């Protein structure tokens, strides 16, 4: 029996690079993710999200760098039973019944939890005798979740799990995902384009753009690190006092007004830019506003908070 206790770090990426012919899909990717988090991986199309998930699922070989899952190198055979991966198209056999699909899960996975898998399927009123090909998108996703959770993974990798679902099914299945992950202490890493879903579901974030990590850390550390400042532009620009004193993630001037997403330390109320007599307004942005600003400005300095920082091996 191997030790199934998850280590403190579910994922440790150390200077991962992946090249496809002449293009880098992933560059200099280093971070660590504590176990037990629900983490979103966010970024525009082509950012490298699927490439990273593919490396973690052992489907893609990195060009250089190392990746550890639960403290074990990703190419160690024990990783196979500890990690579940759900691809974007949720490949299932359409001619199999739901019961046959779960039986396949049972036969392929030594740690299989049949009761858990059946409970997930039944709580959505999915008939065990129905053929997978006849199910709705939401029902198929439920069966795919049952297969993934039935494996009792320590780490669940999901590539845009909710993208093809209607809002009702999305709401239901995100609730299911969070409840199961909390009950079993599963670490979840999911890529998503839906920023409101990310804000609701995830307590940790990884933002990729152009194959590089732009932001990483717990949301409750990332959000207070940003301030949204709006006010009157000076000579058609963001006032110099702001631009020089803080990291400007993004700024826009429209007519006489400017708006700027800045990074700064300490609670908003204590910061000079939020002083009551300041010639602009300062507010805490939503996570969605921060993510949009970060993705629109791939050249802004990266923000990797200490907890997520993986010092690269010399």
Q: Could you say whether residue 5 binds ligand ADP (CB under 6 A)?
A: no
Q: How far is the CB of 297 from ligand ADP (least distance, A)?
A: 17
153 within 8 A of 112, measured Cβ to Cβ? no
Q: Could you say whether residue 27 binds ligand ADP (CB under 6 A)?
A: no
In whole angstroms, give the CA distance from residue 176 to residue 169: 10
CB closer to ligand ADP out of 62 and 105: 62
Q: Could you say whether residue 92 binds ligand ADP (CB under 6 A)?
A: no
CB closer to ligand ADP out of 44 and 137: 44
Q: Could you say whether residue 192 binds ligand ADP (CB under 6 A)?
A: no
How do beta strands 155-159 and 303-304 pair?
unpaired
CB closer to ligand ADP out of 163 and 284: 163
| # residues contacting ligand ADP (CB under 6 A) | 11
Q: Could you say whether residue 224 binds ligand ADP (CB under 6 A)?
A: no
| Chain residues 32-61 in contact with ligand ADP, contact rule CB under 6 A | 43, 45-51
Site stretch for ligand ADP (CB under 6 A), options 20-28, 120-128, 168-176, 298-306: 20-28
214 within 8 A of 298, measured Cβ to Cβ? yes
Q: Could you say whether residue 11 binds ligand ADP (CB under 6 A)?
A: no
In whole angstroms, give the CA distance from residue 98 to residue 104: 10
Q: How far is the CB of 189 from ligand ADP (least distance, A)?
A: 13
Q: How far is the CB of 211 from ligand ADP (least distance, A)?
A: 6
CB closer to ligand ADP out of 23 and 95: 23
194 within 8 A of 162, measured Cβ to Cβ? yes
CB closer to ligand ADP out of 46 and 127: 46
| Chain residues 232-261 in contact with ligand ADP, contact rule CB under 6 A | none
CB closer to ligand ADP out of 61 and 114: 61
CB closer to ligand ADP out of 43 and 105: 43
CB closer to ligand ADP out of 24 and 96: 24
Which of 4, 20, 237, 279: binder of ligand ADP (CB under 6 A)? 20
Q: Could you say whether residue 68 binds ligand ADP (CB under 6 A)?
A: no
Cα angle for residues 300, 15, 40 (degrees, 5° grid): 60
181 within 8 A of 38, measured Cβ to Cβ? yes
In whole angstroms, give the CA distance from residue 237 to residue 259: 10
Which of 1, 5, 23, 255: binder of ligand ADP (CB under 6 A)? 23
CB closer to ligand ADP out of 56 and 165: 56
Q: Could you say whether residue 155 binds ligand ADP (CB under 6 A)?
A: no
CA-CA-CA-CA dihedral for 108, 110, 116, 119, to nearest 10: 30
Binding site for ligand ADP (CB under 6 A): 20, 23, 25, 43, 45-51
């Amino acid at each position: 029996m191997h030790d199934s206790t998850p280590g403190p770090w579910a994922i440790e990426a150390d200077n991962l690079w992946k090249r496809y012919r002449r293009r880098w899909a992933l560059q200099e990717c280093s971070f660590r993710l504590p176990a037990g988090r629900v983490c979103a991986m966010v970024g525009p199309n082509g950012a490298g999200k699927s490439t990273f998930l593919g490396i973690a699922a052992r489907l893609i070989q990195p060009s250089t760098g190392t990746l550890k899952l639960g403290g074990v190198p990703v190419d160690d055979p024990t990783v196979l039973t500890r990690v579940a991966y759900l691809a974007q198209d949720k490949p299932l056999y359409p001619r199999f019944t739901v019961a046959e699909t779960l039986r396949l899960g049972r036969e392929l996975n030594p740690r299989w939890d049949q009761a858990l898998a059946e409970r997930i399927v039944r709580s959505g009123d999915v008939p065990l005798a129905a053929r997978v090909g006849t199910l709705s998108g939401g029902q198929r996703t439920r069966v795919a979740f049952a297969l993934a959770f039935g494996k009792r993974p320590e780490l669940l990798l999901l590539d845009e799990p909710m993208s093809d679902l209607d809002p009702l099914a999305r709401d239901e299945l995100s609730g299911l995902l969070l409840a199961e992950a909390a009950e079993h202490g599963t670490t979840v890493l999911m890529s998503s384009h839906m920023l409101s879903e990310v804000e609701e579901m995830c307590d940790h974030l990884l933002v990729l753009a152009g194959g590089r990590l732009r932001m990483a850390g717990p949301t409750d550390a990332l959000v207070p690190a940003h301030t949204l400042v709006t006010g009157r532009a000076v000579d058609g620009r963001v006032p110099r006092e702001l631009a020089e004193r803080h990291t400007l993630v993004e700024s826009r001037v429209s007519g006489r007004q400017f708006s700027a997403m800045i990074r700064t330390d300490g609670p908003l109320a204590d910061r000079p830019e939020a002083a009551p007599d300041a010639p602009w307004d300062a507010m805490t942005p939503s996570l969605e506003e921060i993510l949009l600003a970060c993705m629109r400005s791939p050249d802004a300095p990266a923000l990797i908070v200490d907890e997520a920082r993986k010092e690269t091996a010399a």
